[in-house]
Amino acid sequence: MSKKPFYITTPIYYPSGDPHIGHCYTTVACDSIARYKRMQGYDVMFLTGTDEHGLKIEQKAAEQGISPKEYVDVIVDKFKKLWSYMNISYDRYIRTTDDYHVEAVQNIFKALYDKGYIYKGEYSGKYCTPCESFWTESQLDENGCCPECHRPVKFAKEEAYFFKMAPFAERIEKLLLETDYLRPKTRAVELVNNFIKPGLEDLCVSRTSFTWGVPVSFDEKHVVYVWIDALSNYITALGYENNAHDDYAKYWPADVHMVAKDIMRFHAIIWPAMLMALDQPLPKHLAVHGWITMAGKNGESEKMSKSLGNVVDPFVLGERYGQDAIRYHILREMALGADSLFSNEIMINRINSDLANGFGNLVSRTVAMADKYFGGTLPTEREGADIDEDFRSVILGLRSAVDGFVDETKIKQALETIFEGVSRANKYIDETEPWKLGKDEAMKPRLAAVLYNLLEAIRITSALLAPFMPTTMPKVWEQIGASAEDVSYDNLGSFGVLPANVTVHKGEILFPRIDVDKEIEELNEILRKNMEAAQAKLSAEEKGEEAPAEEIVLAPEITIDDFAKVEIRVAKVVSCERVKKSDKLLCLQLDDGMGGRQVVSGIAQYYAPEDLIGKKLQLIANLKPVKLRGVDSNGMICAADTPDGVKVIFVDDSIPVGSKIR
Ligand code: MSP
C-alpha cells in the first residue's frame, strides 16, 4: 500500500541578517511534526527556504559593494548551516532566486493578469526618497517620518499592478469563520473584523522603484512585489508552473503551513485569494504562533534582539547545552497563538527540571539499578502488583494523546503529555522503592518486574520524544537495549515489547545538570564581550578606522624543515555522508590524485554533506591514520575557526587534484 502524503511548510525566511533563536522556532516545530508523521508512516514533504528579493536586500548588498545574489548567498549558507546544526530534516529547500521559481512566478503573475484579477494602476502614498520606499500612514514614526531612516517623507505616485481582492472576500470570510483552516480559531474573528468587514483593499503586486525581484514578463520595468513571489513558493517548490519538480499532484494541498503572527494576514487572506484566483485547492491548515520575545528595558517584552541581555545565538547555546535541549526548550515554552518570553535563566531551569532531573534521571536510575541488581540483564522470572496497572495505563495512553496534539499542531501540549508519563514513571520508582526490593533475595522477581516496566516506560516515552529531540533518543535506546523495531510507532501502544531478558548498557549522562548561577555568570561574560566587540566595531566605523583586531597568540616558532614535514595536497570531495550516531562527524571520500582515500572530519555542525560534494580542498596527506567513532580517517582537511563557526578552506577548481601546497 502506498503511504499517505503529508506536506508541511515553514515561511521562507528573509536572508537580510544572521538567523537567531527566533527563526528556529517555526523550523524546529515543523521539523518535529515532520519527523512525527514520518514515524507514523506518512510520506512527508517538509519544505523550507529563503525569500531573497526586495529593496532591503538590494540596499544592503549595495552598502557592501556586492551584488544582491552574492549578499544572499552568504546568509543563505548560514541558514542552511543552522538547520543542519539543529538537525532539521527538511526534504526540500527553495530559494526564490532559483530559476524554476522565477519562471513559475512569472507564469502565475501572467495567468492572474490574463484572468483579469491583476490590473495596472497607480500606487500612491508617503514616500521616503533615500529609502526608496512607500509607507502607509500607520507605518510612519511618531513624527510622521520614515520608520527606517526617520527623515521626512513626501506624497508620491508610482505606476504599479494590483491584485483584486474583493471577488474573494465572501469565500475567505467563510473559510476563516466556518472551517478550521486557521489555528487558533480565536484569531479568525479579529481578521474578519479588521480586514474583511471594512472592505478588502486591492493588493499592490509590482514595483518600478527597485530591480531586485522577479521581472513581470510582459512589462519588464516592473518587478513582482513580495507576496505573489513569496507565497507562491509553497506550490512552485512542488513543480506548479515549472518542470523542476513533479509532486504537485501528490502533496498539494498542504496539510500545514506554520507561520508567526506578523505574517498571519498574508497567509489567511492573500494566499487563499491567490489560490482561489488560480482555481487551486486551499491548504488544509494554517497554524499561527506568537513570537519568542525578550524582556525589554522597561520590563515589557520585545521581539528578539541581541542587545537585550540574553545570549540568543543558537550555535553558542547548542555548544553549551546540546541542540536537543534548545529544541525542547523553545517547543515546550511556546503555546500556539501566544508569545513566549525567552531568557537564559528560564531555559536553564527548564533544562534542569525536565531534562536533567525528570527524563535523564529516570533513564540513568533505571539503567543503573538493572546493572547493580542484575548485572545488566533482567531475569525472566517476574512478579506483578496492582500498582503496575495504573502506571501502565498512563504510559499506554500517551501515544494516542500525543497523536492528537501533533495533529492539532499543539506541540507544547504534546510535550507536556509525554512528560506526564515521565513524571508518572519517576513516581512509580518512589512507590515501588526498588532499592528496598534489591536488599531482599526473595523480592528479586518483583524487582525484575518493576525494572522491566520502567524500561518499557522509557522505551515508549523516548520513542515519542524522538521527533522533538532526535539526537538524544537513539542514545537512550542504546542504554535500554531497545532495537529500531522496539521503538517503531506500531510498538508504542503496548507493553512487553522489549525482550524479557533485556540487557541494558550504562552510558553517558544524557542531560548534565547545570549550575544556574555559574552558567548565568558565564553567559553574561559572553554577552559582555560580544557587546564590547560590537561597540568597538561601531566606534571604529564611525571614526572611519579599521575594526580592532582580536589579540592573537601564535604557537611556538618552527623551522622551514619542521614545516616541510607536513604534506598538504589538493583533493576533491567525491562523496560525503554523516558518521552514524555522531552529531559532529562527516565521512568524506576524496580523490587525492593517489588512488583516493577516506577522511573523517568534525564539521557536521557547519556543513551538510551536499555542501561539500564536488568541492576541492586542502588535505594534510601524511597524517597518521586514526579511527574516529570506529571509522578510518586517513588525513585531515584544512579549515579555519571563524566567529561564524568552522569554515573549510576550499581551493580554486582550476588547481588539479594531487597538487602539492607549499
Ligand atoms: N519572508 C517572509 C515570509 C514569507 S512566507 C511566504 C518573512 N520572513 S522573516 O524572515 O522576516 O520571518 C519569517 C518568520 O520568522 C516569520 O513568521 C516571523 O515572524 C518569524 N520570526 C522572526 N523572529 C521571530 C521570533 N523572535 N519569534 C518567533 N518567530 C520569529 O516574514
What is the mean predicted confidence (pLDDT) over 288-302? 73
Ligand 1 probe mutation, 25, 55, 336, most atoms within 8 A of CB: 25
Residues 524, 526: Cα–Cα separation, whole Å:
5
What is the model's pLDDT at position 532? 79
Q: How far is the CA of 27 from the centre of ligand 1 (A)?
A: 10
What is the model's pLDDT at position 305? 52
Q: 629 vs 51, 321, 324, CA distance in Å? A: 39, 22, 21
Residues 369, 421: Cα–Cα separation, whole Å:
20
pLDDT at 226 over 70: yes
Answer yes or no: is the C-beta of 231 below 6 A from any ligand 1 atom. yes
Answer yes or no: is the C-beta of 15 below 6 A from any ligand 1 atom. no
Residue nearest to atom 15 of ligand 1 (CA): 23
Classify strands 286-289 and 223-224 as parallel, antiparallel or unpaired. unpaired
User: What confidence category does residue 630 fall into, taking pLDDT thresholds of 50, 70 and 90?
Assistant: confident
Beta bridge partners of 232: none
Q: How far is the CA of 262 from the centre of ligand 1 (A)?
A: 7
Residues 353, 359: Cα–Cα separation, whole Å:
9
How many helices (H) and strands (E) the chain has is answered by 24, 25
Ligand 1 probe mutation, 52, 229, 259, 313, most atoms within 8 A of CB: 259
Could you read off the pLDDT of 58-89 as tens digits, one per residue?
988 988 899 999 999 999 999 999 999 999 99
Residue nearest to atom 12 of ligand 1 (CA): 13
What is the model's pLDDT at position 551? 45
Query: Given the CA of residue 15, which atom of ligand 1 is nearest to it?
Result: 10
Q: Return the higher-pLDDT residue of 41 and 312.
A: 41
Residue nearest to atom 19 of ligand 1 (CA): 260
User: What confidence category does residue 556 fall into, taking pLDDT thresholds of 50, 70 and 90?
Assistant: low
Answer yes or no: is the C-beta of 304 below 6 A from any ligand 1 atom. yes
Report the residue count for the chain.
662
Q: Quick check: 104 and 110 in contact, CB under 8 A? A: no
Residue nearest to atom 23 of ligand 1 (CA): 22
What is the model's pLDDT at position 571? 96
What is the model's pLDDT at position 383? 84
Answer yes or no: is the C-beta of 291 below 6 A from any ligand 1 atom. yes
Q: How far is the CA of 302 from the centre of ligand 1 (A)?
A: 15
What is the model's pLDDT at position 583? 76
Q: Quick check: 503 and 483 in contact, CB under 8 A? A: no
Answer yes or no: is the C-beta of 603 below 6 A from any ligand 1 atom. no
Residue nearest to atom 25 of ligand 1 (CA): 22
Residue nearest to atom 18 of ligand 1 (CA): 260
Answer yes or no: is the C-beta of 23 below 6 A from any ligand 1 atom. yes
Q: Please enumerate in sequence order all residues whose Cβ is within 8 A of that of 155, keeping only pairs 6 or more positions apart, or say none.
A: 124, 125, 126, 127
What is the model's pLDDT at position 550? 46
Q: Quick check: 254 and 44 in contact, CB under 8 A? A: no
**Range 54-57 contact pairs with CB under 8 angstroms and sequence separation of 24 or more:** 54/14, 54/210, 54/212, 54/213, 54/226, 55/131, 55/132, 55/133, 55/207, 55/209, 55/210, 55/212, 56/14, 56/16, 57/14, 57/15, 57/16, 57/212
* Strand stretches in 561-633, DSSP E: 568-578, 586-591, 597-601, 616-620, 626-628, 631-633
pLDDT at 307 over 70: no
Residue nearest to atom 30 of ligand 1 (CA): 22
User: Residue 150 has which C-alpha cell?
Assistant: 526617520
Nearest alpha carbon to residue 583 among 610, 605, 566, 562: 605
Residues 341, 332: Cα–Cα separation, whole Å:
12
Q: How far is the CA of 617 from the centre of ligand 1 (A)?
A: 35
Residue nearest to atom 17 of ligand 1 (CA): 260
Answer yes or no: is the C-beta of 259 below 6 A from any ligand 1 atom. yes
Q: How far is the CA of 26 from the centre of ligand 1 (A)?
A: 8
Could you read off the pLDDT of 437-455 as tens digits, one per residue?
999 999 999 999 999 999 9
User: Within 13 Å of residue 475, how many CA atoms lie on the same side as its CB?
Assistant: 18
User: What confidence category does residue 545 fall into, taking pLDDT thresholds of 50, 70 and 90?
Assistant: low
Query: Given the CA of residue 227, which atom of ligand 1 is nearest to it?
Result: 6
pLDDT at 543 over 70: no
Nearest alpha carbon to residue 344 among 364, 317, 323, 370: 317
Ligand 1 probe mutation, 18, 51, 55, 232, most atoms within 8 A of CB: 51
Answer yes or no: is the C-beta of 57 below 6 A from any ligand 1 atom. no
Query: Given the CA of residue 342, which atom of ligand 1 is nearest to it?
Result: 26
Query: Given the CA of residue 267, which atom of ligand 1 is nearest to it?
Result: 6
Query: Given the CA of residue 271, which atom of ligand 1 is nearest to it?
Result: 6
What is the mean predicted confidence (pLDDT) over 335-344? 83
What is the model's pLDDT at position 59? 87
Classify strands 5-13 and 92-95 as parallel, antiparallel or unpaired. unpaired
Q: How far is the CA of 166 from the centre of ligand 1 (A)?
A: 27
CA-based torsion, 556, 561, 563, 566: positive or negative: negative
Ligand 1 probe mutation, 10, 13, 94, most atoms within 8 A of CB: 13
Q: How far is the CA of 336 from the centre of ligand 1 (A)?
A: 15
Query: Given the CA of residue 26, which atom of ligand 1 is nearest to it?
Result: 29
Neighbouring C-beta atoms of residue 184, cutoff 10 Å: 17
Classify strands 92-95 and 118-128 as parallel, antiparallel or unpaired. unpaired
**Range 439-447 contact pairs with CB under 8 angstroms and sequence separation of 24 or more:** 444/373, 444/379, 444/381, 445/379, 445/381, 445/382, 445/383, 446/382, 446/383, 446/385, 447/373
Could you read off the pLDDT of 459-471 as tens digits, one per residue?
999 999 999 999 9
User: Within 13 Å of residue 160, how many CA atoms lie on the same side as its CB?
Assistant: 22
Ligand 1 probe mutation, 96, 262, 274, most atoms within 8 A of CB: 262
Q: Return the higher-pLDDT residue of 505 and 299.
A: 505
Q: At what angle do helices 444-465 and 411-432 cross, to 10 degrees?
A: 170
Residues 566, 149: Cα–Cα separation, whole Å:
54
| N-terminal to C-terminal alpha carbon distance within the chain | 59
Could you read off the pLDDT of 398-434 as tens digits, one per residue?
999 999 999 999 999 999 999 999 999 999 999 999 9
Query: Given the CA of residue 51, which atom of ligand 1 is nearest to it?
Result: 1
Reduced to 3 states (helix: H, G, I; strand: E, B; else coil), residue 99 is helix
Q: How far is the CA of 303 from the centre of ligand 1 (A)?
A: 11
Residue nearest to atom 26 of ligand 1 (CA): 22
Percent of the chain with pLDDT over 70: 94
User: What confidence category does residue 308 fall into, taking pLDDT thresholds of 50, 70 and 90?
Assistant: low
Write out the H or E segment, with its range, that includes residue 270: none
User: Residue 372 has which C-alpha cell?
Assistant: 547493580
Residue nearest to atom 6 of ligand 1 (CA): 231
Answer yes or no: is the C-beta of 14 below 6 A from any ligand 1 atom. yes
Answer yes or no: is the C-beta of 303 below 6 A from any ligand 1 atom. yes
pLDDT at 553 over 80: no
What is the model's pLDDT at position 40? 98
Residues 584, 596: Cα–Cα separation, whole Å:
23
Query: Given the CA of residue 50, which atom of ligand 1 is nearest to it?
Result: 1
Residue nearest to atom 24 of ligand 1 (CA): 22
What is the model's pLDDT at position 277? 98
What is the model's pLDDT at position 105? 98
User: Residue 317 has which C-alpha cell?
Assistant: 547555546
What is the model's pLDDT at position 561? 80
Answer yes or no: is the C-beta of 109 below 6 A from any ligand 1 atom. no
Q: Quick check: 574 and 613 in contact, CB under 8 A? A: yes
Q: Quick check: 236 and 111 in contact, CB under 8 A? A: no
Rounded to two decimals, the pTM is 0.81
pLDDT at 503 over 90: yes
Could you read off the pLDDT of 109-142 as tens digits, one per residue?
999 999 999 999 998 888 887 777 778 887 888 8
pLDDT at 257 over 70: yes
Domains of the chain: 343-493 (1.10.730.10), 560-661 (2.40.50.140)
- Peptide bond before 253: cis, by omega within 30 degrees of 0? yes
Mean of all residue pLDDT scores within the chain = 91
pLDDT at 376 over 60: yes
Q: How far is the CA of 23 from the centre of ligand 1 (A)?
A: 6
Query: Given the CA of residue 233, which atom of ligand 1 is nearest to it?
Result: 6
